[in-house]
A and B are shown apart, each in its own frame.
Chain A
């Protein structure tokens, strides 16, 4: 094994995706490495292909999609490397939820609408951890408690539509973390949420990462969120990865034009408020 693999836990090499033969590619030759415990933000406008990368990472793309390149999950010492694109379906099923978990933009839509929260959680815990029926329920309530839900018993008995957006996103996070994954893919986890709740979820993800050495692949269009969670930012523009830089070098002058544009767009709103506050005595 090379020196690099000691640190990197997830490698995407020259990934190209098109949804059907003959269509324009959604991703072109994207290469990306995530080290253990690292948080990477994938930033770009909608339609640039960033969600496709997330779906490809757990092989949830439609069967008709044409994929080239490779995605390898190296993981830590306890598990073998997995070739995500080349393995058979059963091997991938063992990876999903257990080693790579995903949180989606629409939290309520990503939960089963006809199942109580605690039952959904218990189900996942039984599958990924092999918990027994009786311990699964207790573990479900514990995991709700861990994602900062003040009243786990009441929330556990609720159906998804009875929850607020922030609460549902916490539940979705609890579901994702149930399998103690090595990599969490968060696809726009806060863009459907209001300011206060957004801040709460950002803080929760940050706290979870601190406790569990989780690697994070954050997908967002908002550079402000990327800055608040990631330590490296990858910018995608027009289906290509155009920039990849550590967070502290974002302000450096020689950045790609797309990066500059995204930074400026994020600062546009803030700047108006700041100038307003500075102008008034």
Chain B
């Protein structure tokens, strides 16, 4: 009877290939996410109705670059003070002096400019065609990324701060504070969020800041619950008792020992939250309650395309794909973040 066979092919499975596959997926998701963020930051360098560099009446001007700089977060307002040179109109580029020159962005149209006939098919001049009002779809897509990234990142930053403060206070203090914070969270969660957003949007009015505030101030509840649970379970851990026994103060324990443990799952939840915020913003814009008709957004593009869904269904594809890919990237990155921040997955697999 020959039973012993030295190599059992069923048992030689390869874990490395699975992790390689995951790595590849994460890397491409990260690359796409970074591309989206860069596109959002540098939108006027990619699609703008002003040149990047131009020589006009013997002087050099950098209108697209200064527009880009003025849109950067934090430092942008400093650049806004210097009023840059502007071409009077789109047609100015054809009326340049003979010895003048201009370097244009790859898409030389602004997002709100009517540059061609309505509903053009894709061509060399308009890579993704034009919409119902003759605006370049690619230019709108690029500037739409700007809104989505801002809404996603800033609203989750706000939700994260509010959630950590309220959840942390509830979990660490306990007692009456915990009771009050928990009831506040429950009330916020019971309230239909979309309805709340609609009401507040009508009240605040349109605008990116308004939408960031609304999403941030309604989406913090899940973060707060997460942080509260982490703090509550952390309070029972031995190392917190150890810190108390050598005289550490409550603040120190909360910030040094409990918060870092709570931060990892929070970061993961926030990454998923960015996807939710992008979807929410797109949904609001689609309803016409979003950022407003004067700013290009993916949701707004969808709404415009929806009006002509029977005649030009192709117009839906570009904004749909942009929303789909960005949300998918957020989820892939969030999942990978969860894996890499979870200490159990990292070194819990080997045992004696």
A and B touch in the complex (CB under 8 A): yes
A26 touches B5 (CB 8 A): no
Q: Mark B6-49, 1 if CB is under 8 A from A, else 0.
A: 11100111111000000000000000000000000000000000
Chain A contacts for B176, CB-based, 8 A: none
B13 touches A68 (CB 8 A): no
Chain A contacts for B14, CB-based, 8 A: 21, 64
Chain A contacts for B13, CB-based, 8 A: 63-64
**Given A20-B15, A22-B16, also A51-B5 (CB < 8 A):** no
Cβ contact of B8, chosen from A46, A51, A72, A85, cutoff 8 A: A85
B352 touches A26 (CB 8 A): yes
Q: Is B350 an interface residue (CB 8 A)?
A: yes
Q: How large is the interface on B (under 10, 10 to 19, 20 to 34, 35 or more residues)?
A: 10 to 19
B6 touches A70 (CB 8 A): yes
A161 to B13, CA, bound (A): 37
A83 touches B4 (CB 8 A): yes
A13 touches B12 (CB 8 A): no
Q: Is B238 an interface residue (CB 8 A)?
A: no
Of residues 317 through 352 on chain B, the ones whose CB sits less than 8 Å from some CB of chain A are 349-352
A251 to B350, CA, bound (A): 34
A69 touches B6 (CB 8 A): yes
A85 to B14, CA, bound (A): 17
Of residues 188 through 203 on chain A, the ones whose CB sits less than 8 Å from some CB of chain B are none
Distance in angstroms from A279 CB to nearest chain B CB is 36
Of residues 139 through 171 on chain A, the ones whose CB sits less than 8 Å from some CB of chain B are none
Complex: chain B residue closest to A62, CB-CB = B349
A26 to B349, CA, bound (A): 13
A68 touches B16 (CB 8 A): no
A20 to B20, CA, bound (A): 14
Q: Is A49 an interface residue (CB 8 A)?
A: yes
Complex: chain A residue closest to B9, CB-CB = A86
A19 touches B4 (CB 8 A): no
Distance in angstroms from B341 CB to nearest chain A CB is 21
Cβ contact of A70, chosen from B1, B4, B349, cutoff 8 A: B4
Chain A contacts for B5, CB-based, 8 A: 70, 83, 86
A46 touches B3 (CB 8 A): no
Chain B contacts for A14, CB-based, 8 A: 6
Of residues 21 through 63 on chain A, the ones whose CB sits less than 8 Å from some CB of chain B are 21-23, 26, 46-52, 62-63
A21 to B16, CA, bound (A): 7
A67 touches B1 (CB 8 A): no
Q: Is A66 an interface residue (CB 8 A)?
A: yes
Chain B contacts for A83, CB-based, 8 A: 3-5
**Given A19-B350, A22-B16, also A81-B3 (CB < 8 A):** yes
Q: Is A257 an interface residue (CB 8 A)?
A: no
Distance in angstroms from A122 CB to nearest chain B CB is 31
Cβ contact of B351, chosen from A13, A20, A51, cutoff 8 A: A51
A265 to B351, CA, bound (A): 23
Complex: chain B residue closest to A48, CB-CB = B352
A66 to B3, CA, bound (A): 19
B352 touches A65 (CB 8 A): no
Complex: chain A residue closest to B15, CB-CB = A64
Chain B contacts for A1, CB-based, 8 A: 1
**Given A47-B352, A51-B351, A62-B349, also A20-B16 (CB < 8 A):** yes
**Given A21-B14, A65-B11, also A51-B6 (CB < 8 A):** no
Complex: chain B residue closest to A51, CB-CB = B352
Most buried by B among A48, A52, A85: A85
A72 to B4, CA, bound (A): 8
B351 touches A52 (CB 8 A): yes
B3 touches A86 (CB 8 A): yes
A67 touches B8 (CB 8 A): yes
A81 to B11, CA, bound (A): 20
Most buried by B among A22, A51, A62, A64: A64
Distance in angstroms from A14 CB to nearest chain B CB is 8
A66 touches B12 (CB 8 A): yes
Complex: chain B residue closest to A17, CB-CB = B11
Chain A contacts for B16, CB-based, 8 A: 20-22
Chain B contacts for A46, CB-based, 8 A: 352
A51 to B1, CA, bound (A): 29
A70 to B3, CA, bound (A): 8
Distance in angstroms from B44 CB to nearest chain A CB is 49
B352 touches A72 (CB 8 A): no
A46 to B3, CA, bound (A): 32
A20 to B11, CA, bound (A): 11
**Given A68-B7, A70-B4, A72-B4, also A50-B352 (CB < 8 A):** yes
Chain A contacts for B6, CB-based, 8 A: 14, 68-70
Complex: chain A residue closest to B349, CB-CB = A19
Complex: chain B residue closest to A219, CB-CB = B352
Chain A contacts for B349, CB-based, 8 A: 19-20, 62
Most buried by A among B7, B15, B349: B15
A158 to B64, CA, bound (A): 75
A20 to B5, CA, bound (A): 20
Chain B contacts for A65, CB-based, 8 A: 11
28 pairs, A vs B, C-beta closer than 8 Å: A1-B1, A13-B4, A14-B6, A19-B350, A21-B14, A21-B15, A21-B16, A26-B350, A48-B352, A49-B352, A50-B352, A64-B14, A65-B11, A66-B12, A67-B8, A68-B6, A68-B7, A69-B4, A70-B3, A70-B5, A70-B6, A72-B3, A72-B4, A81-B1, A83-B4, A83-B5, A85-B11, A86-B5
Known pairs A51-B351, A83-B5; list 17 more (Cβ under 8 Å): A20-B15, A26-B350, A48-B352, A49-B352, A50-B352, A63-B13, A64-B13, A64-B14, A66-B11, A68-B6, A69-B4, A70-B3, A70-B5, A81-B1, A81-B3, A85-B11, A86-B3
Closest 8 CB pairs of A and B: A70-B4, A64-B15, A83-B3, A47-B352, A20-B15, A67-B11, A51-B352, A19-B350
